[in-house]
Copies of this chain bind each other. A is one copy, B any other.
Amino acid sequence: MQIAIAVYPDLTVLDVIGPYQVLTALPGAEVVLCAERPGRVSDDHGRLHLDVETSFADVPEPDVLLVGGGLGTRRLMHPGSAVVEWIRAAHPRTTWTTSVCTGSLLLGAAGVLDGLDATTHWNAVQLLESFGAAYVPERVVERGKVITGAGVSAGIDMALTLVDRLQGPMVAQAIQLAIEYDPRPPFRAGSPATAPAEVTELVRSVMDAAENEVLGD
């Protein structure tokens, strides 16, 4: 079983590393990080650089396709971008097509989410719906073979759900235990539903400003 995880410039690295850590523990799975072309791919903070060996063209028919989010999606979420065309071509033959955070915008741009329930980062709902998806405010949304996860850290929950579907609850629990995923967030601030309103407004304004900067490039 081949699991292809797409990366691209200005990705949010935890979006893909959460699932990577879960899925590399899956017996019999070959996990491949892939990009438009081999070489260095830097994250959206610019402090971390991945050395990627595999191009999208090298993995045209993955069993599982996974794409994370990040500011870089805003430049790529249109027909013709390499990652979107790779998703469009691979999706019909995948067993599972999955996203984390604003990776959903790339699935959307590839036509995967048209008329489908899906989730994304809480601050990207309008963009998600612009691709014909219906936003569902849940951590993990599974519809047919498409599984979308909410923002950034939700990739861990999404990937454990995926492992359950692929190999059952014993394997999923074993991987959860191996990565000691027994979360104890120090605050109840992980969702706009529970965060203080002024915190939500602060984060929204910072994220919107960063997005406008990218869109203005």
Residues of A within 8 A of B (CB): 12-14, 17-18, 20-21, 24-25, 31-33, 40, 45, 47-53, 101, 121-122, 139-140, 150-154, 156-157, 160-161, 164, 169-170, 172-174, 176-187, 189-192, 194-196, 198-200, 202-203, 206-207
Contacts and interface: CB of A to CB of B under 8 A. Distances in A.
Most buried by B among A12, A51, A153, A194: A153
B176 A152 contact: no
A195 B176 CA distance: 9
B161 A173 contact: no
A177 B157 contact: no
Closest 5 CB pairs of A and B: A151-B180, A182-B190, A173-B189, A14-B21, A183-B183
A187 to B, nearest CB: 5
A172 B187 CA distance: 8
